[in-house]
Structure 1
Amino acid sequence: MDRYAMQHAPRRTFLADAGMGFTGLALGALMQKEGVASDAKWAPPTGKPHSTPKAKSVIWLFMNGGVSQMESFDPKPMLTKYGGKTISETPFADAQDPEKLALARVTAPDGNGNQRNELYPLQIGFKKHGESGLEISDWFPHIASQADKLAVVRSMYTTDSNHGAQTQFHSGRHMNDGAYPTLGAWVHYGLGSLNENLPQFISMGKREYWNKRDGHYLGPAHDAVPMRVDPANPLDFSKPERKVTRDSRRIGQDLLESLNALRQIEYPQDQAMAARIASYELAFRMQTSIPDIVDFSEETTATQEMYGLNHSHSKAFGMQLLAARRLVEKGVRFIQIQHGGGGAGAWDAHGGLKKNHERNSLAVDQPIGGLLKDLAQRGLLDETLVVFATEFGRTPGSQKSDGRDHHIYGFTVWMAGGGLKGGVAHGATDEIGFHAVEDRHYVTDIHATILRQLGLDSRKLEIPGRKRLEIDHGHPIEQIIA
């Protein structure tokens, strides 16, 4: 630093920069580049809920591609009765009335140039389950065994008819509106830590580029931390490049903390920089705590088999769900697990629906049923909200093949635990699963329900200059709240 700079620099700045040396300058440059070292004009929430919470954590299970509501949790036997007939040849001809939104993208011209909307029969049977008598497809026997824990919402709708609806389901906004924070980011933003050694928002499974981020205008600090169920390498950059003892890493971390403290002298009121410093410290603690989470050697054989770890078709997803249970036990707030991510998504069944859904349900059914059973027997389900969601449903008609197209006008989501009623079905689609006709719910009603159970009011989380629309907030689904 030259003499002029020394004479005119604030004393605290000079002391900080002189003590930090090259490492401190590098850290300062990183923070400046990321917009961290600046005057903080907006303090984040206190980390306390706005009302008494009924749930502490969320396990968000997202099926990428679009699960057929008719072949899962909203069976429609009329599809089989009238299978192969055009909709106009059935009692449900008004389903394609323009005032009912019309049948989108599933029509094919017949030999006379007319449009034919042929109903496609159910590809699997279904039964009533539990004391509640919920009707569930035979492809999901393990989830069906937990029927009395489920709150099934059969009247969902959305507005993006392509797979950008994955983003819409997470954020509540159409992709054309721009990038908006996801539900997990809002939860992370609104609530404080339950465990200082673990991230509070974790994502497992592949996420396509349009659904890759979470924080957006809340900032990258509210993105989910990507995690793999691999004890040798569970987090990116979580291992030193060279073999270093734990004591040596502790010495390095202590030095970094000292340098960070000096930097804070320069920016004593900067909350964002304090958060960045805390993230470095958290990263150090995660180096040891995360590998322990994904080490299942202490789990009994019976528990591992409950999650399907003894079957090749369900092992991968089962390991993620077992890790999720262990993370919940340690106090992680929001665990987001994507099944079948990549491209359109594994559940996208324009053709070969029977083979597609049979394969995918084998991968997820036992792990999900095991998770619900395991959480309940450990006394964790009451404080953990499990969500089974997908971006949209599938059409009652075929595409001149053995599959179904994307369908935004009526589909199904279910939730369990976290202070919700069990063994209930709320809302309804018509007799062929086309339109949500009773108690329709946009995707943010799911968000609002989850936030209510966590004790959060989305309107109290708004940021100045970022006014949200009414539909962004949604409305809690009171009928399924205990």
Structure 2
Amino acid sequence: MRAPNFDFWIEAKRMKLNRRDCLVQSTWTTGALAVTASALPASSAWANDSGVQTLVQHHPAKAKRVIFLFMHGGPSHVDTFDYKPMLIRDNGKDLPFELPPQISAKPTLLASPWKWSQHGEAGLWATDLLQEMNKHLDSLCVVRSMHTRGQSHGQAVGMVNTGSDNFVRPSVGAWISYALGAGHPDLPAHVAIAPATAHGGPRNYGAAFLPAKHQATVVGKNGQIGDGKIAYLDAAEGHQFDLVNQLNRGHVQSAGRDRATDGAIEAVDLANRMRGTAPEVMDLSKETDATKKLYGIGEKTTDSFGRSCLMARRLAESGVRFITVSSGQVWDQHGNLKNGHEKNAAKTDLPIAGLFADLKQRGLWEETLVVWGGEFGRTPVVQGSNGRDHNPQGFSMVLGGGGIRGGITYGETDDYGYYAVRDRVHMHDLHATMLHQLGVDHERLTYPYAGRDFRLTDVHGRVVEEILES
């Protein structure tokens, strides 16, 4: 029988940690973190000369990274990018077909309170709600035929972030991290900026059954970036990381190797390295005043979301593969649609347009896939006091950069904007397309778990080739 190694307990005693402290530390690292390179696909090459994990991709990539601008709550497509003349014409009349199940809205049609017009050389239709984004429509593709599962926020938020409306599954960012690894040896591959604590919370940026290192590093919460720092990273000291790894290595010596402990050791090593890299990357004070103004930083209304968008650009530029920027659950106007959507637009529109412009001027637009949208859209019929209910049956998402054709729309909803009826795009199709642009075949990116090979797109999904540059 192998003799136990007590070196790590001696070190713990030197640092005046009691047995409970040690067990808490050990449990956290071995239980919350998991598998490392041994679980990667056989085609991967782990650690090149620069220390960066790379993957032999399935086909040439058009994008190196994804920035997902998550408009949590569900912005209304019939008030932004899905022009419906008949909705305007029939305002106040009853919807000429039955409402879907579980809808509490009245069947009375509600035209958009915002003015519609065409924009750019391509002449794409949009309201004047998002005036700054409209200036970039020649570079954007509006998919007008999205549909998904989940009448409630929790279900639909799970679908857009993990591809599942009811089971705990790895997030999109976790799958991308698993496939491609980090683009910088001292930074994570996956970062969530200001994610929600509700509607699944950590599930929406978690790793589920994938190796736990692929879960997101989090900055801020609920649409607020806060101080813009990674929690606890600044306060941590090198000897604390050393002690935790001694505990983990002690576990390996006494109990043998296992994937969870290997993953914990690797994750703690990364956190230790991040102390010297992440603070500099995330330091927005290094940006010029002109750049800050571009994002609306310094202005009360746009400051927080502007800093989130600028941080996303800095992280993308530094090699992070998947970045979610969340607005917070603010786009959920069951009543008072006009005031609510205008308030949300005032906070997010300028920073998002600033991000687009900044990516373009830095030569990052072509290699960065940007996705804007919520978990679903809104009904074309009224609810409450001039509001709209949830609508997963048909809505819009906006894509740009990363090999996406600009200045086009794809698909259609019906005459009133309720159901996706032509060239329908499911959430699985969106995820398949995102992976495709990164050089990954969604049908070949699998992970063995519980007796079957799992995919982000489950057993569904097609690449929407029609919106891709040739």
> For residue 240 of structure 1, what is the aligned residue in structure 2?
235
Q: Which whole-Å deviations, capped at 9, do the CAs of 1:302-324 have from their partners, x for residues lacking one?
A: 11111111321111101000000
Q: Distance in 2 between matches of 1:480 and 1:41?
A: 34
> For residue 463 of structure 2, what is the aligned residue in structure 1?
476
Trace 1:167-206 onto structure 2 (pairs within 5 A): 167-175=158-166, 178-206=167-195
Contact 2:33-2:212 within 8 A present in 1 as well = no
Which residue of the other structure, out of 430, 433, 441, is the alignment partner of 1:457? 441
- The amino acid that maps onto 1:466 is R
> For residue 113 of structure 1, what is the aligned residue in structure 2?
none
Trace 1:101-120 onto structure 2 (pairs within 5 A): 102=100, 105-108=103-106, 117-120=107-110
Report the aligned-residue RMSD.
2.8
Q: Distance in 2 between matches of 1:451 and 1:318?
A: 27
> For residue 306 of structure 1, what is the aligned residue in structure 2?
294
- The amino acid that maps onto 1:414 is V
> For residue 138 of structure 2, what is the aligned residue in structure 1?
148
Q: Distance in 1 between matches of 2:135 and 2:29?
A: 54
> For residue 65 of structure 2, what is the aligned residue in structure 1?
57
Contact 1:321-1:367 within 8 A present in 2 as well = yes
Contact 1:151-1:416 within 8 A present in 2 as well = yes
Give 1:168 shift: 1.6
Which residue of the other structure, out of 136, 139, 142, is the alignment partner of 2:129? 139
In structure 2, relative to structure 1, the CA distance for the partners of 1:225 and 1:41 (3 Å cut) is: closer
User: Quick check: 251-260 or 44-53, which moved more?
Assistant: 251-260
Q: Distance in 2 between matches of 1:424 and 1:440?
A: 15
Which residue of the other structure, out of 69, 84, 101, is the alignment partner of 1:76? 84
In structure 2, relative to structure 1, the CA distance for the partners of 1:289 and 1:432 (3 Å cut) is: same
Give 1:72 shift: 0.8
Give 1:148 shift: 1.3
Contact 1:393-1:411 within 8 A present in 2 as well = yes
- The amino acid that maps onto 2:210 is L
- The amino acid that maps onto 2:290 is A
Q: Distance in 1 between matches of 2:336 and 2:8?
A: 62
- The amino acid that maps onto 1:305 is K
> For residue 157 of structure 2, what is the aligned residue in structure 1?
166
Contact 1:149-1:416 within 8 A present in 2 as well = yes
In structure 2, relative to structure 1, the CA distance for the partners of 1:410 and 1:189 (3 Å cut) is: same
Q: Distance in 2 between matches of 1:383 and 1:268?
A: 43
- The amino acid that maps onto 2:153 is H
Q: Distance in 1 between matches of 2:361 and 2:403?
A: 16
Q: Which whole-Å deviations, capped at 9, do the CAs of 1:22-60 have from their partners, x for residues lacking one?
A: 45894894378518799x996223240222211111111
> For residue 315 of structure 1, what is the aligned residue in structure 2?
303
In structure 2, relative to structure 1, the CA distance for the partners of 1:154 and 1:191 (3 Å cut) is: same
Give 1:254 shift: 5.9
Contact 1:31-1:37 within 8 A present in 2 as well = no
Q: Which whole-Å deviations, capped at 9, do the CAs of 1:130-170 have from their partners, x for residues lacking one?
A: 11111122011111111111111000111211111111211
Indicate the SS of the match to 1:287: helix
Q: Distance in 2 between matches of 1:269 and 1:338?
A: 38
Q: Distance in 2 between matches of 1:238 and 1:316?
A: 21
Indicate the SS of the match to 2:177: helix
Give 1:240 shift: 2.6
Q: Distance in 2 between matches of 1:367 and 1:233?
A: 16
Q: Which whole-Å deviations, capped at 9, do the CAs of 1:390-411 have from their partners, x for residues lacking one?
A: 1111111112531111111110
Contact 1:31-1:273 within 8 A present in 2 as well = no
1:222 equivalent to 2:214? Answer yes
Indicate the SS of the match to 1:376: helix
Q: Distance in 1 between matches of 2:342 and 2:89?
A: 22
Q: Which whole-Å deviations, capped at 9, do the CAs of 1:375-431 have from their partners, x for residues lacking one?
A: 011000111111102111111111253111111111000111111111110001122
Contact 2:331-2:341 within 8 A present in 1 as well = yes
Aligned residues: 438
> For residue 405 of structure 1, what is the aligned residue in structure 2?
389
> For residue 15 of structure 2, what is the aligned residue in structure 1?
none
User: Quick check: 465-474 or 75-84, which moved more?
Assistant: 465-474
Structure 2: gaps spanning 5 or more residues: 13-18, 45-53
In structure 2, relative to structure 1, the CA distance for the partners of 1:362 and 1:29 (3 Å cut) is: closer
1:275 equivalent to 2:272? Answer no
- The amino acid that maps onto 2:89 is K
Give 1:356 shift: 0.5
Contact 1:421-1:480 within 8 A present in 2 as well = yes
Contact 2:34-2:211 within 8 A present in 1 as well = no
Structure 1: gaps spanning 5 or more residues: 1-7, 88-92, 109-116, 242-248
Q: Indicate the percent of aligned positions where both proteins have the same amino acid.
A: 37
Which residue of the other structure, out of 9, 25, 31, is the alignment partner of 1:34? 31
Q: State the TM-score, normalized to the length of structure 2.
A: 0.85
Contact 2:30-2:248 within 8 A present in 1 as well = no
Give 1:338 shift: 1.2
Q: Distance in 1 between matches of 2:357 and 2:32?
A: 45
Q: Which has the larger Rg?
A: 1
- The amino acid that maps onto 1:66 is G
Indicate the SS of the match to 2:389: strand
